[in-house]
A and B are shown apart, each in its own frame.
Chain A
């Protein structure tokens, strides 16, 4: 899944950008998402990739989490359950089981930051 963002305005006097962010698969147009002013000092402006990465990581992911949480759940998907304790695969056959995807992401990625490595020509 990709995060997309659109810079609506750049305000050099306050060093801010006004952006709209959503997931690429959003059911609403990026133009209809709310505009947010972001202080560029909170972003890594080392290069374009660092900029995209920090903007997406710091602001995009929370927008997407919120958007996903607000999406309607299909009836067939509603009766899922969280499993705990001893595992018995036979007893789980036919059940719909859920796991918090964002919790999973948090554990895997919580301490990873982007390394500022630059490709050069020699």
Chain B
């Protein structure tokens, strides 16, 4: 896939919106501020740069790289340009309530959960508490132990602050 285009996917979940964008190298996209509520992005593959547009021109740039969870809160409700450097597949997390702040972190090992958090599979087939997850499976966590076997996959925990 080398065409300069992107397909966008979206699902409204209980407390957040999960989105994904699949596109080609050199794709340039514009996201207007009224639609820009993504606070974390994870590059399943590929990479891209984000630029914030303001009345003063381009005021900041962030490079999202493969296998990285990127905090993009500074672009919240801003006009943003995205430029893909490679063919890419990126997942995004946006709060349903725009006033809520969330913390996101990649899970590396077994952990103790809490009921303010959600777990989302962003790659591969990790196994959590004996259950094999697939891409974009998500679960509400509880105050209990979670046994994690990453199995080459990626899971991210998002916690409402």
Q: Which residues of B contact A (CB under 8 A)?
A: 6-11, 13-14, 18-20, 119-120, 128-129, 131, 133-134, 136-141, 146
Query: Interface extent on A, as a size class?
Result: 10 to 19
State whether A113 touches B146 (Cβ < 8 A): no
State whether B138 touches A119 (Cβ < 8 A): yes
Complex CA gap A122/B6 in Å reads 33
The 0/1 profile, CB within 8 Å of B marked 1, for residues 92-114 of chain A is 00000000000000000001111
Complex CA gap A112/B7 in Å reads 7
Interchain pairs with CB closer than 8 A, number? 53
In the complex, A117 has a CB within 8 A of chain B: yes
State whether A115 touches B146 (Cβ < 8 A): no
Complex CA gap A111/B14 in Å reads 23
What residues on A are CB-neighbors of B133 within 8 Å? 120
State whether A112 touches B137 (Cβ < 8 A): no
Partner of B131, one of A112, A114, A122: A122
Complex CA gap A115/B89 in Å reads 13
